[in-house]
Amino acid sequence: MSDLSSEGTEAEAEADLGEYDGDRNSEGERHGRGKAHLPNGDTYDGEYEHGFRSGQGTYRFRNGASYTGEYLQNKKHGRGIFFYPDGSKYEGDWVNDRRHGYGEYTYANGDTYTGEWFNHNRHGQGTYVYKDTGSKYVGGWVNGNQEGQAELIHLNHRFKGKFLNGNPVGHGKYVFDIGCEQHGEYIQSEQDKGEGEEEEEPSLLVAPKWKASKITKLTLWTPHGETPPSP
């Protein structure tokens, strides 16, 4: 799973520094439409209000990153698209300079995430598509990690269940396109430790193991405790 290492910490320069060519108000503040060349090498072309970047504009960072979209008092705020130096991009909602609301992130490796964001992280409901395999994760996210009810859809089968920190946990089922389901649960396996051995370093996280319980025909979900009518 891709992390967001491409984000970089592109800090935008102060709005009222550097060379400026554009409209001003009666107080001499940048106000209206203008272009600025900032001391750090960045440029801004867009709207100003009372000396602040506010409204629509394009900000280009000297490292190759750029943002085109809405501003409010120097902060990215509203709808906008951000291109990162590694070729990844985010298109969606911003609040107070952070990805927040709904948007799509295309990663440098071609993976995509489309869904909800909270305070710069994937958070809420969203779909992550793995470009290499065509598989996709559809479901819950918490602080950037796959967590909650979800479906992991592969080419000819899918898994329905719960996730925690990117791994499936507890009861779930695999649904196969050939027309059957395998029910079971994911069990967190403990690493074997020799008797009396002191643990000198934290054990590596071991992926949970799938323990199958039964195979059935395709079933429709029914409320707990009710049995579907006999055929």
Could you report the per-residue pLDDT of 153-191, keeping only the tens digit for each?
Answer: 999 999 999 999 999 999 999 999 999 999 999 998 765
Sequence-distant (6+) residues with CB within 8 A of 7 are: 84, 120
pTM score, whole prediction: 0.84
Q: Is residue 214 included in any domain, yes or no?
A: yes
Q: Is residue 227 included in any domain, yes or no?
A: no
Give how many domains the chain has, as a whole number.
2
Q: Is residue 5 included in any domain, yes or no?
A: no
Residues 156 and 129 occupy one common structural domain: yes
Domain limits at 74? 18-104
How far, in Å, CA of 22 to CA of 47, rounded?
A: 9
pLDDT tier at 15 (50, 70, 90 boundaries)? confident
Q: Which one of 69, 104, 139 terminates a domain?
A: 104
Residues 93 and 127 occupy one common structural domain: no
Query: 164 vs 2, 74, 134, 141, CA distance in Å?
Result: 16, 37, 22, 9
Q: Is residue 96 included in any domain, yes or no?
A: yes
Q: Is residue 213 included in any domain, yes or no?
A: yes
Residues 122 and 167 occupy one common structural domain: yes
Q: Could you tell me the end-to-end alpha-carbon distance of the chain, in angstroms, rounded to an integer?
A: 43
pLDDT, tens only, 56-90: 999 999 999 999 999 999 999 999 999 999 999 99
Q: Is residue 2 included in any domain, yes or no?
A: no
- The number of residues in the chain equals 231
Q: Is residue 116 included in any domain, yes or no?
A: yes
